[in-house]
A and B are shown apart, each in its own frame.
Chain A
């Protein structure tokens, strides 16, 4: 049981290049999330998905796209990278709880450190 895994761990891009970050979970979780972490700002939600084939915007979605073609995978794409997208990206997943939407524990991957030059 690997939990949540992310590929790649590190990446350096030039401005304007594109790339896709892959998140995979083996816990059969319905919900998946992409966050970015910047110093002094905590984690901010980019996009999320409540099930296979569905995605929704989070707090900072501009410049990113996502896809959830399979339940276990959640892809984050940068079509034209900008230096402002230099960050650490975390994927998370959760199983809907019975206490209310938002009460479920999220499980995080190890992160992808992206630098855009």
Chain B
């Protein structure tokens, strides 16, 4: 069965520091991996996805993610965090037309 795990409920980082939000997955076949962000009282917004090709994927708002097949991970990263990045982040794996979501990680960026 497909699954996604986000091992941290919350990540705290100071503004200007690099950030990492972790995601590991389990899927049979080729994984299609996604990151979405949710701001308070809003729907989910697409950040980036990995389908195939280069393991480093660049997305919106300066975010990037690295696909690591051997570690079955797809961690979200940003070199320099902004206070406005504070939000709930979801990792998801796509399979047979459906998205399986992780439980979400709250990112708190402090000034």
A interface residue numbers (CB < 8 A to B): 4, 31, 33, 40-45, 48, 50, 58, 90, 92, 97, 99-111
Contacts and interface: CB of A to CB of B under 8 A. Distances in A.
A99 B70 CA distance: 22
8 A-B pairs closest in CB distance = A102-B94, A42-B101, A108-B43, A108-B44, A103-B32, A101-B97, A43-B101, A42-B103
B80 interface: no
A48 B101 contact: no
Given A42-B103, A110-B43, A58 B34 contact: no
A102 B104 contact: no
A92 B34 CA distance: 15
B45 A108 contact: yes
Contacts of A44: 101
Give the size range of B's interface with the partner.
20 to 34
B30 interface: yes
State the majority secondary structure of interface residues on A.
Answer: loop
Contacts of B98: 33, 45, 48, 58, 102
Contacts of B51: 97, 99-100, 103
Contacts of B99: 33, 43, 45, 102, 106
A90 B90 CA distance: 14
Contact of B44 (A90, A101, A103): A90
A34 B45 CA distance: 16
